[in-house]
């Protein structure tokens, strides 16, 4: 697997983390050292959440100090009520001169970050108690799963017909990237990988001898996945078009550089709006579409979890495979009293 892409990405996040730490209390340095076994993405997420939390503290609770001057003794004075007030505050607040709003998921994530911080220092005997244990997490309501159905996927992959729905000017432009775009769409829908995994792929990661490819998963682990002959055909069509390029990245922009996340997101949105205008389809929802189709074919949630790279089977069950709906439909047909 090409480490350069991930090394470059991680270096960017490390710089972001260092900048964030300069806006946090000095004792947070110990916290980030203590959790360095976590991924850099996790630590950066914690840092941004903590900036908001400590800004709240000096605005509402400890108003006689600046954030950088806060101490562990100040942290030890926080009550469960203060944390509950923080959750309420997150509904609508000002940060860095801008008004922000958070839904339940964002609130719960920020509360979880604060809980990790307080538990860490409590376990290190730096705090006399862990008041966050007295604050319940927010119960997140299950959302409807948004995905493409089988017939919509068939329409999407008939890319020539989809192109006919664009203006002449757009169609001329998209003809240049048609084979690349189709290869990306088929790759998402045929393997279920994440967008970060897709843009990090290099040509050397693809093995057409056994239709396999190597990736680095979200947590940093390497993995090998497989693709169908259909995916292989579209990939080879695209690679034949870009023959002669010395760029190692698999998917390239028109400038011949590695395609970036935002560009892939825009491309997916552009095509999927033509066949499913009422659905806000993103690369992640293409992953959901793949997972749902895979579950319906295999009826094995563990297979789905393994292919998606989930360590917790409940994540798969909750977010990707509509097990409940399918099983309920089957149950309705199983029990018959009138024959």
Residue-wise pLDDT for 153-164, tens only, equals 999 999 999 999
Residue-wise pLDDT for 113-126, tens only, equals 999 999 999 999 99
pLDDT tier, 92 (very low <50, low <70, confident <90, very high otherwise): very high
- Whether 259 and 78 have beta carbons less than 8 Å apart is answered as no
Q: Please name each of the domains of the chain with its CATH number.
A: 3-134 (no CATH), 150-332 (1.10.443.10)
- Whether 307 and 225 have beta carbons less than 8 Å apart is answered as yes
Phi, psi (5° rounding) for residue 219? -85, 0
pLDDT tier, 319 (very low <50, low <70, confident <90, very high otherwise): low
Residue-wise pLDDT for 14-45, tens only, equals 999 999 999 999 999 999 999 999 889 899 99
- Whether 90 and 110 have beta carbons less than 8 Å apart is answered as yes
Phi, psi (5° rounding) for residue 48? -70, -40
């Amino acid at each position: 697997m090409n480490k350069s892409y991930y090394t470059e990405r991680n270096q960017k996040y490390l710089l972001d983390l260092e900048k964030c730490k300069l806006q946090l209390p000095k004792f947070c340095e110990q916290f980030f050292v203590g959790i360095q076994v976590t991924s850099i993405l996790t630590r950066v997420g914690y840092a941004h959440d903590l900036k908001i939390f400590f800004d709240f503290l000096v605005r509402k609770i400890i108003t006689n100090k600046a954030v950088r001057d806060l101490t562990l003794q100040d942290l030890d004075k926080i009550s469960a009520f203060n944390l509950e007030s923080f959750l309420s505050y997150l509904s609508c607040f000002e940060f860095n001169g801008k008004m922000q709003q958070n839904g339940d998921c964002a609130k719960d994530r920020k509360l979880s970050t604060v809980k990790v911080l307080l538990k860490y220092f409590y376990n290190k005997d730096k705090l006399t108690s862990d008041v966050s244990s007295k604050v319940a997490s927010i119960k997140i309501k299950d959302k409807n799963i948004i995905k493409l159905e089988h017939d919509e996927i068939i329409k999407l992959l008939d890319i020539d017909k989809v192109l006919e729905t664009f203006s002449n000017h757009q169609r001329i432009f998209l003809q240049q990237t048609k084979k690349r775009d189709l290869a990306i769409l088929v790759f998402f829908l045929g393997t279920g990988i994440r967008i970060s995994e897709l843009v990090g792929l290099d040509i050397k990661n693809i093995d057409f001898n056994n239709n396999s490819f190597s990736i680095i998963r979200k947590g940093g682990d390497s993995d090998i996945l497989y693709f169908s002959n259909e995916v292989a055909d579209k990939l080879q069509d695209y690679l034949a078009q870009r023959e002669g390029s010395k760029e190692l990245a698999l998917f390239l922009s028109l400038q011949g550089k590695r395609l970036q996340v935002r560009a892939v997101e825009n491309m997916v949105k552009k095509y999927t709006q033509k066949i499913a205008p009422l659905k806000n389809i993103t690369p992640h929802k293409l992953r959901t579409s793949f997972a749902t189709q895979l579950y319906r074919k295999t009826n094995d949630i563990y297979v789905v979890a393994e292919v998606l790279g989930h360590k917790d089977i409940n994540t798969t069950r909750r977010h990707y495979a509509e097990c409940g709906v399918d099983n309920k439909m089957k149950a309705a047909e199983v029990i018959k009293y009138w024959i």
